[in-house]
Structure 1
Amino acid sequence: MACPKITLFHNPQSRSAGVCILLEELALPCEIQLVDFKDKPAALLAVNPLGKVPTLVADGAVITEQVAIFQFLAELAPEKGLSPAVGDPLRGPYLRALAFYGSSFEPAMIDKALKRDSGSAGMSPYGSIEAVEAIVRARLAQGPWWLGEQFTAADVLWGASLSWITQFGLLEKTPEIAAYLERFSERPSVAAAKAKDAALTA
């Protein structure tokens, strides 16, 4: 399968940093369009009126939302093994790891940051912040990766996100979370993405 021409609208101080790490893991070529949040480029707004990053364009197809982007990219390079295939017993847990991040964990962290009441458990997309945090700690305590021994694109999403979430104090860096982040930070893709970001913004 030929790789599509990929363009990523990116700001190093945003969620798109994780996408850059995933691109390094997958060794996928990509054109980077830097986004200044104070003056969002017309090219970004033309494909994503919300003006959010990451926004990905692949052969003209627009992909937004972190979970969709991670799943899309990982499946472009199946030989890298970062996306369990259909029929693999880890496929369901992998998709759950991605969806849980986007539909439960990040909304919970945003509510926590804004000191916003999440409403009744029945109306909230995640139930309670405490329950969400407990799931994360329990999952990472089983380590070394989110699905156990196999490193996947879900770990790039979680590793990159937990790095900034713990940095801002939204989630306590408990021993299991600290150990997970240390393992993640040692991957060559993390250093490579950071080096490229430094060169882009120099």
Structure 2
Amino acid sequence: MAGDRDELVFHTNPQSRGRIVRWMLEEIGQPYRTAVQAYGAGMKSPEYLAINPMGKVPAIVHRGVVVTEAAAICAYLADAFPEAGLAPAQDDPLRGSYFRWLFFAAGPVEAAVSAKALGLLAPPERAGMVGYGSFEQTVDTLEIAAQSASPWLLGDRFSAADVYVGSQVDFGLTFGSIPERPAFTAWAGRLREREAYRRAQALDNALVAQES
């Protein structure tokens, strides 16, 4: 049925990067169905592996299309629901900055933070081989993005880039994976005041409480 095909299904776990997509979904304001996937058997089940062979969350299914990877999902949703105003139009000069920061966070920031947490940062003499260069260089560049967020990455216009890049900053400050700097804390403070952010947090925190 057409209604079933148009349904937006959100596969997640409340203790995962799915929190980023939850926030994005609350920002677009469209109805969606949540399918919680448990770590282990749930995410590695044949049914879920048919959706995401990586056996990871988040993932969405919309109009018969599967989208995985949090940054890609945010970009997809922003374009799929333009009425939410979360992505610059194709002919808008701001679209370049929008993609620049969105994928800077998905690439160098994600890689550098993960490598540091695992004690696997590239040695200085091999920094040219990795996309992030060094952890310090990546964080300094992320700070440039945060400093430009006045109040948002695209100026007065909030976008999906704020959701994704801002989530990296928010998580980093919460778990100590990025250093506290005034530009980071100020931006994160503005993000945490958004109603969609608060709704998303409440929904995921309620799911965590159910599991405990």
TM-score range, shorter-chain basis? over 0.9
**The one of 23, 35, 38 aligned to 1:36:** 38
Q: Distance in 2 between matches of 1:123 and 1:45?
A: 32
Q: Distance in 1 between matches of 2:102 and 2:179?
A: 21
Q: Distance in 1 between matches of 2:167 and 2:90?
A: 25
Q: Distance in 2 between matches of 1:70 and 1:5?
A: 17
Q: Distance in 2 between matches of 1:102 and 1:46?
A: 24
Q: How does 1:1-202 map to 2 (within 5 A)?
A: 4-41=6-43, 42=45, 43-119=47-123, 120-143=126-149, 144-201=151-208, 202=210
Are 1:8 and 1:55, in contact at CA under 8 Å, matched by a contact in 2? yes
TM-score (norm. length: structure 2): 0.88
Deviation string 1:89-132 (CA, Å, 9 cap, x unpaired) is 10011011111111111001011111113252321112111111
Q: Distance in 1 between matches of 2:121 and 2:111?
A: 11
Q: Distance in 2 between matches of 1:96 and 1:34?
A: 31
Give, as a single letter, the amino acid of the residue that structure 2 aligns with 1:190. Answer: Y
Are 2:88 and 2:95, in contact at CA under 8 Å, matched by a contact in 1? yes
Q: Distance in 2 between matches of 1:146 and 1:108?
A: 21
Identity over aligned pairs, percent: 38
Can you give the 5+ residue segments of structure 1 that lack an aligned partner in the other structure?
Answer: none
Deviation string 1:134-180 (CA, Å, 9 cap, x unpaired) is 11112212322122222100101122222222222110121110010
TM-score (norm. length: structure 1): 0.92
Q: Distance in 2 between matches of 1:94 and 1:142?
A: 12
Q: Distance in 2 between matches of 1:106 and 1:25?
A: 23
Task: Name whichever structure is richer in helix by fraction.
Answer: 2
Give, as a single letter, the amino acid of the residue that structure 1 aligns with 2:41. Answer: D
Stretch deviating more after TM superposition (105-114 or 163-172): 163-172
Are 1:9 and 1:44, in contact at CA under 8 Å, matched by a contact in 2? no
Q: Distance in 2 between matches of 1:140 and 1:112?
A: 21
Stretch deviating more after TM superposition (30-39 or 15-24): 30-39
Give, as a single letter, the amino acid of the residue that structure 2 aligns with 1:147. Answer: L
Give the paired residue count.
Answer: 201
Are 2:14 and 2:207, in contact at CA under 8 Å, matched by a contact in 1? no
